[in-house]
Structure 1
Amino acid sequence: MSKTDLQRFGARVRAEREGLGISQEELADRAGLHRTYLGGVERGERNLGVLNLIKIARALHVDPSALLVDFSERKRR
């Protein structure tokens, strides 16, 4: 994943979180992650693993693939 991809992913997480009306701290607590780690994910500074992706998705009440939808629609070269 490029830095731009990480930023797009982080923006997607942020949008889902804000849609639920919860803070980073609340989402981090629900996901069992540290708030600063989640902040780094939202800013595109963290390249998270699959397990943390699943934790975040569950805490947001979305399928993990919903956080990756923008990437699957990208045209392949």
Structure 2
Amino acid sequence: MHLRNNLKMYRARENINQQEMGKMVGVSRQTISAIERGDYSPSVTLALEIAYYFKVPLEEIFYLEED
């Protein structure tokens, strides 16, 4: 199982770039980019902060997918 996400879609809906998203949740643009690519799994705290920012349940942005 792999952690997947819809972060890029949610950012596009809000018209914010990776740099702005990073500032909102206290990480770098590179971290946001790595999360979106699936190269980095955020901590539970960071994942919750991202979901809180978009005012959606965590599982709407982050979800597990079987290989």
**TM-score class normalised by the smaller sequence:** 0.7 to 0.9
Give the C-alpha shift of residue 62 in structure 1.
2.4
The answer to whether the aligner puts 1:60 opposite 2:54 as a matched pair is yes
Task: Provide the C-alpha distance between the structure 1 equivalents of 2:22 and 2:54, rounded to a whole number of angstroms.
Answer: 10
2:35 & 2:8 partners in 1: Cα distance?
9
Gapped runs of 5+ residues in structure 2?
Answer: none
The unaligned stretches of length 5 or more in structure 1 are none
Moved over 4 A (4+): none
Q: For 1:5-59, what per-residue CA distance to the aligned partner results, in whole angstroms no more than 9, with x for missing partners?
A: 4xx31xx000000110010001110111111111100111002121110121223
- Distance in structure 2 (CA, Å) of the matches to 1:57 and 1:25: 17
* Greater RCO, CA 8 A, separation 6+: 2
Identity among equivalent positions (%) equals 23
Number of matched pairs: 66
Rg comparison, structure with higher value = 1
- TM-score of the two chains, using structure 1 as the length reference: 0.70
| 2:32 equivalent to 1:32 | no
In proportion to residue count, which structure has more helix?
1
Structure with a larger share of its residues in strand: 2
